[in-house]
Amino acid sequence: MNEILIYGDIGFEVQAKDIVNQLNDADGPVTVRVDSFGGDVYAGISILNALRRYPDVVTVYVDGMAASAASFIAVGGADRLIMSPNSSLLIHGAWSQGMGNSEEMAQLAADLNQITDNLATIYAEKTGQEPAYWRELMKKDTTFTAEQAVEAGLADAVDELEKSARAEKRHAVMSSGRSRFASHAGGRGVPEIETRAAAPPPRPVHRSGIGDEETTTPLAGRKGDAMSIQNLAQELGVEPDELRKKLSGFFNETVQVNTEIEISYPEDTQVVPTGKATITPVGDVPTGLTFTLGEVAEGWAAEVAEDTGVITVTAPNAEPGEQLALTVTVQSGEGEPTELTAGVTIKAAADDEGEPTSAEPAAPGTPGELAGDAVSLDRETYNELKAAAKFGWQAMERDKESKLVSEVDAWVKDGRISASLRGKAIAAMKRDPQIARDLYGSNPKDTVPRAELGYGVDDTADGEPGLPSLDDLFKRAEERRATHK
């Protein structure tokens, strides 16, 4: 199933390019799950338009909160918007923070009004209400419950959780046919006790002089007497052997409950030539299932765990692109068997970027040559190369972070931001350099004064009329020291 998560701040934890990449890789209907308090408005619009461009059906579920940018993504990007029980949707006007003179602040206010008008049309298109109606609600934070969102036309339905549906299904399965008495008690599996006619008076019991019982007539049912097959047969007026035969069928009766199989295997698992891969079923595997593997193509080796369904497959020394379809039969009790398919494809020993593949290496002694440009290394050399690569990556990350910090320090030096904002600017650079540069680095130089205000000596001035240079001041100081000797 194609499922995309929008969990977190949009433009920071959730990037538009990541959503676009997931949509490009998807095939068929897409499910999007949202739990976000919003974020960058233009990143949100990029995600919204990406969902609108997707050629198949897009169903959006609000799992917790869809606020601000997340709300218009959910409302405008979904072909069908489903609110989970107890979830919420919040709308408000666009907001920002900035600094500048009165003209710049007035322009910022105008931009925010324009953005808010634009967002109001998204809600209007979904609901049929005029944009002015939504513009009025967006003057403050307006929160809709799941039911209110459906009533307002922002959402299409409130979801009935699948877990509840499965529980009802299990209840129905267990309550139907639980025992042969189910039909007598409305499907509850508990028999109703019919009122028995008055029992006949007990027949007399004759005993011998030493106390041996001479007849098969039971005692008069005194409190504390033990029940036995013999006594019960006597009371019912049947032979003990006949009673045992009838009761054995009752006590040995079993109830067969068949469960619906809701598991599958990945459509395509990749493995390098002569490599080994493990394929795990997708979904919860209930107890009591039996897995059986069908025929395996020549050159391949595969086996399946009978109780868990985990497949272990070893590829032959073949060209990349060769495929294998494994058929696994799943049996649940005495029900009809179900056939599942797992696909395996041989890929090159290294990907396009030269990174080692994740497939397990073939066992020592496996016949066949190494494919392509693959190189065989001893374990010690391999571990050394891994450690060196990790060290190089860490060094690269430190260098990258150092450059980001240096760029922020340059903003402080140029007077683009104050020194008090340095920490926030560095944190923003680590999250998204481009947004940080737009927010902080785009300020004009000397927005925050760095030089002293008033008159003084400018050590950068060269021959400015009326002011001594720095060299002149040093020369005068030397002359005064020489005079006082």
Please name the residues in contact with 205: beta carbons below 8 A apart, sequence gap of 6 or more. 213, 215, 217, 218, 219, 220
Q: Is 92 a catalytic residue?
A: yes
Residue 256 identity: Q
User: Which residue do the tokens 């209110």 mark?
Assistant: 148
Strand partners, 213: 207
**194: its two tokens:** 């019919």
The span from the CA of 291 to the CA of 284, in Å, is 14
Among the listed residues 46, 71, 84, 92, the single catalytic one is 92
Q: How far apart are the first and last CA of the chain?
A: 92
> What burial class does residue 313 get, using C-beta atoms within 10 Å of its C-beta: 0-12 exposed, 13-18 middle, 19+ buried?
buried
Please name the residues in contact with 317: beta carbons below 8 A apart, sequence gap of 6 or more. 273, 274, 367, 368, 369, 371
Among the listed residues 36, 46, 68, 332, the single catalytic one is 68
**239: its two tokens:** 């032979």
Helices (H), 84-189: 102-127, 131-137, 146-152, 162-175
Q: Is 208 a catalytic residue?
A: no
The span from the CA of 474 to the CA of 480, in Å, is 10
Please name the residues in contact with 413: beta carbons below 8 A apart, sequence gap of 6 or more. 450
Strand partners, 332: 289
* Inter-CA distances, 97 with 105, 108, 439, 440, Å: 10, 9, 9, 11
* Inter-CA distances, 201 with 204, 217, 221, 225, 358, Å: 9, 11, 11, 17, 83
User: Which residue do the tokens 């068949």 mark?
Assistant: 258
Please name the residues in contact with 356: beta carbons below 8 A apart, sequence gap of 6 or more. 350
Q: Which residues are catalytic?
A: 68, 92
